[in-house]
Structure formats: structure tokens, C-alpha cells
Structure 1
Amino acid sequence: MSAHAVNGNAHRSRVGNVSSSNLPAAGPGRARQPSPEHLLVLLEVARSGRYTTAAQALGLTHTTVARNIAGLNRALGGRVLVRGADGWELTALGERAARAAEGVAEAMTALADGDSAADRVTGVVRMTTTDGFAAYLASPAVAALRDDHPDLSVEIVTVTRRAAQHRSGVDIEVVVGTPQVNRGRAVQVAEYELGLYGSRDYLARHGTPSSVSDASGHHLVYFVDSMLQVDDLDVPRRLLPGIRDALTSTNVFVHVEATRAGAGLGFLPCFMADRHPDLVRLLPEDVRDRLPYYAVVHPESWRRPAVTAVLEALRAEAARQRHVLLGGRSVSPA
């Protein structure tokens, strides 16, 4: 949901004229008719999870945004937002109000566009995903999508973590493993394989392991064990019992480059490692794992055409790269 779907200048001028002095009056114990301006402000706060971010997007002050939300609370007779760990979140009443706000935004857009066929894939879509997925799947997917929808903007924050039960300000979370979420809808986007790799120079100096026990005598390049939030990624330490850490990082690009530099054996996504001819895959039948990428789309985002378009673009790109994701080497060197 985004107030960016509304024609910007008209939206800002209408919202900016709202003040507590022109709120409609209501009798005791009776909810007032909610103001369209208040609903549009709620829509932007629901999208960003922050009053300050919503204020910047709408060309308002933080105080004006807060006043609009307070007015909507009074009009509806209850709270539309509650503060969560990651920002403001919609209550059940707020979700109803946000659905109504989408109708207001769409009507204003249709009015501004007249009889022209407006592109509905516009505005900002915010997503979180892992470093590798962002670089090699999300980036080409978004680039291709923007060829057809130039008014679309996508913000990507890279992080490796499990899906949140409640998280404001994010439309799509792409996570590793099957998510357990009560709110939102989870859709499998892709599947990928991880394998054990060593650089040619490293193997020349330290020998090429011919068995799991041989590999366990080397050192591992992988995630920081104490900071790993995704249980499904704790694979190499189980497959290679007794292996000790050499270099650990929260960033998978560091894993790839450290393995190339000879810091140890890296347990790497094949679609990243296979881009480098100086890396050799080791024991592919014994040390491997396949994991899914799931996209979790939050309820207030499902109805946005821009969000569903980004999701479909991600799935299409994953299908195009399926062979590479599952361990094929048909990729060009980086």
C-alpha cells in the first residue's frame, strides 16, 4: 500500500491542509466519518512504519502526521496503529481503515489520470533479502521490470534472518528456509544449492580432501555461528564434524572472497561460487544442501499491483536461473 500511488502534488496539498481545527465534530459515543486526508496519511505510515518517513514522502511535518493519525483514532473510536519492535504497525481497525484508504488513493489516481490507461505498477516497494539473492536475482529482476514500469522504485535492505511475525515498513521479505508466520503469505520463489569449495592455490598448498574426514581437518569459511539466525543454514558444521572456523562473517560475499583468497574451505551458494573459475567444488555428493527461498508478503502489501509485479519478476528470474541455482556451472566469470 502506498500513498505514492496517488498523484503526488494533489495528494500533498490536500493532506497538508488538514488540521485539528477542521476535524468534523461528533456526538458523544458516536464515531465520526473518517477524513479521506487522514486515511491517506495512515496509508503512508503503514507503508513506512515511521511518522518521519511518511512525513517526508507526503511533504508534511512529523506533527501534522501525528495530528492526522490522532484525528483518525477519534473518528473511528479506536487506535489504528500500535508501536512494534520495528516501527508502527496496523491494528485490526487500522487494517480496515487502510483498505478504505487504498480505495481513496485509487480513486484520486483515476481522477488525475482521466481517461488514460494509468500504469498501476508505480511507487516504492521495500524488500529485505540476503546479499546473494539481492545481487544475482533481485537486481536483474527489478531492472527488467523497470523497463516496462519506469515509475517503479525498489528499495532493498540485505540481511540474513528469519521472517518476522510483525514488521512494519517492508512489503516483501525474502528468507532462506520455510518461514513460520501468522500474518502474511509465504510463497516459494526459488531453490538453491550450497557446496564446499576451495581455491586452486589453497588446494595446491594444503591438499585436496578426498573424504568428509579429510575435509573436517581443514578450516571453515562461513557465517558467524553465534550470530546465525537461520537454523537451516547451520549445515556445514553438521556435515563436517569437528571442522574449526577459519574466517567467519555475516556477509556471503566475504565468504566467497575469503575462500578465493585461501583462508580455508568455504561452504558457498553454488550460484555465487561457480562464477569464479579459481574455485573448485569439493565432495559434491557428500557435502551439499538445498534450501528454498521464500517471499513473505505482508497483508497490507498484497493488494498493491507494484508488490505483486515485483514478486512475479523475482519468480521469473529465479526460473530463468534455475540451472545455475541448483549447481550448474553455466555462468560467466564475475
Structure 2
Amino acid sequence: MSSPAPTGPRRPPSADDLIVLLAVAREGRYTGAAERLALNHTTIARRIEALEQALGGRVLARGAAGWVLTPLGEHALAAAEDVERAMRRLSPDDAPALAGVVRLSATDGFSGFIAAPAMAALRERHPDVTLEIVAATRRAAQQRVGVDLEVVVGRPHVQRAEAIHLGDYVLGLYASRAYLERHGIPGSTSELAGAPLVYFIESMLQVDALDEARRPTRGMVDAVSSTNVYVHVDATRGGAGFGLLPAFLADPHDDLVRLFADEIEERLPYWLVCRPEALRQPTALAYIAALRARMAEAADALLGRGRLA
């Protein structure tokens, strides 16, 4: 931890120290900042201590999951971003306009169907931009340490962050053709009582919107449960039972049949949660634009309007 700031005369803050603060703010940890800047942990700690001495106060405080900015640190961060922009302007004219790592936390389905193709499109124009994805189905975190952006299902309730509605997707009830040939096609939703269901593990589900989505299937019995939506798809295709699946993942498979589309259709929203500092990073902003473009391109598939070619 940084030592107390001195009370004597202070030197002006160093641009190098400000760049280190920027890296720690984005990574949430000294080790991550050290890796980003190709420095060692001790150098990062020394730079932060020097910056605190120059500014006369703390710029970082321990949060639940890593370092977070103090009010003085947020003020210093604005100056650090000015330094970064100035350095970027000094880059050769033929250098890529954007570079760096975007760290994203998102659900499995969104990660594969939206996030990865969006980054592929962005890298066509900016090959020095990279994406790291932490696949997780959870509520929005109150402190986004180690990630720049989060995508969650359902409207988030967050502080000190920006929430953006990206779009919606549809959940429907599916079964494999082979399963329906063996067990018959139910004539009404009432016949689903006691039938096997493929969905999330109820006791581990943290997302209210996904929990509420299973209301039409309450009379069914869990057959295969998983925290991974791709397991839901494969288990349903394998004949484990009726899967409550995203249309954009189920519809491309000709061996899956959607049932009771007029009665069982849950429309769920994807929300993007951004750290304030991420919204001042050109690379992160470009990736958000790419996410929105991919969402628009895939709108019909997300909402189950026809099968994909």
C-alpha cells in the first residue's frame, strides 16, 4: 500500500506517473498494470507513491475487488488521459489509429454470437485492438475491476457507471426432432407438466430476468441444468428434454423444433455497463460502436424472426 503523502513542498506530477495511474485505473490491479506497461509490480507501486506525493493525497483506495480511484485520483485521471491523447498524436501517421486491449464480461451466448464477431469486424480496420472476454451470467457488478465493459441480461442497477440498452433477444421452447418422434408432440402447454426441462441451474441463477423467464415451464422437471447456455443447446439437440433456449442459438439447427411460439416467448434485454473511464477511451468507444452494429445486423436472429441461412 502507498505510504502517507508528505506535507512539505511538492514537485509537479510526472507524465510517466500519470500513465501508470491510467493503467491501474483500467486494470484494477498493480499486476495487471505492470503487465500492460511492461514494468514490474514494484515500479508501479513506486510510481503511484510518487504521484500521491506530488499531488498531496491518495489517488487510489482498496475496493472489494481491487484498486479504485479516489476523488483526487479521478481528477488526476483526466490529466492522464490528456497525456495519453498527446502521445497518440505523436505516433507516426502510418500507425494504426487504435490499439490496446478491451476487457469484456458477458454471457456465453452474447460472447460468442455478438462480442466476438464485433471484435473481428473492428480488427479489420484496427488490427492492434484485441479483446479479452470473461464469460459469466450474473448481475452487473457494483465495481468493475479488471474489465472495461459488462453485458448483462435485464436492466442493471449500478452506481458510478453508465448503462446502455443494446437490444433484446427471445427465449423459446425447443425440442429435437428425434425426441419428439420418440415421445410425441405435446398438444398444449398443459401437457408439459412433469416433462424434462433443459435450462439454468435454478439455485445458482443470479439474474432475475432469466429466473422469471422460466415461469411458463414451472411445472416441468429439471433434466439437464447448466450455467452455460451452449450446454443447453447441445443437451436439447441430444434429446435430454425440452430446452428453454435463445432463438439466435437454437434456430440455426434444423434438428430443433420450436414449440408453442405464441404462448412461450420471453423477450429479454441486453444491457451494456461501462466504467466512466472506459467511455473516454477511443478503443472502448470504437468497440461499443461495433457491438451496436453487430446487434443491428443480427436483430432478426436475436428475436427469432426466421431461421438463419
- TM bucket normalised to smaller: over 0.9
Alignment-mate amino acid for residue 312 of structure 1 = A
Question: Following the alignment from structure 1 to structure 2, what is the Cα–Cα distance between the partners of residues 197 and 123?
Answer: 41
Alignment of 1:184-333 (within 5 A): 184-332=161-309
What is the identity, as a one-letter code, of the residue corresponding to 2:109?
G
Which runs of no fewer than 5 residues in structure 1 stay unpaired? Answer: 1-25
RMSD after superposition: 1.7
Tell whether 2:48 aligns with 1:48: no
Moved more, 262-271 or 207-216: 207-216
User: Do the aligned partners of residues 91 and 204 (structure 1) sit closer, same or farther apart at CA in structure 2, a change above 3 Å counting?
Assistant: same
Aligned residue identity for 2:246? P
Quote the residue 1:100 is aligned against: 79
Alignment partner of 1:62 is 2:70: no
- Tell me how far 1:31 sits from its aligned partner: 4.9
Give a deviation string over 1:93-143, Cα, whole Å, max 9, x none: 111111111111221222343xx3764422111111111111111121111
Identify the residue that residue 22 of structure 1 maps to in structure 2. Answer: none
Provide the residue aligned with 2:131 in structure 1: 154
Determine helix, strand or coil for the equivalent of 1:234: helix
CA distance in 1: counterparts of 2:277 and 2:9, whole angstroms: 27
Q: Residue 43 of structure 1 contacts residue 102 of structure 1 at CA under 8 Å; is this kept in 2?
A: yes
User: C-alpha separation between the residues in 1 aligned to 2:243 and 2:140?
Assistant: 26
Q: State whether residues 192 and 219 of structure 2, in contact with CA within 8 Å, keep that contact through their aligned partners in structure 1.
A: no
Unpaired stretches in structure 2, ≥5 consecutive residues: none
Q: Deviations over 1:72-100 (max 9, x none)?
A: 12222222112223221112211111111
Give runs of ≥4 in structure 1 deviating > 3 Å: 26-32, 117-120
Identity of counterpart residues, as a percentage?
A: 55
What letter matches 2:147 in structure 1? Answer: V
Spell out the pairing of 1:12-31 with structure 2 (5 A cutoff).
28=7, 31=10
Describe the SS at the equivalent of 1:161.
coil
**Number of equivalences:** 305
| 1:64 to partner: Cα distance | 0.9
Which amino acid is 2:48 matched to?
A: I
Corresponding residue of 2:62: 83
CA distance in 1, matches of 2:10, 2:268: 50
Residue 109 (structure 2) aligned to one of 132, 153, 161: 132
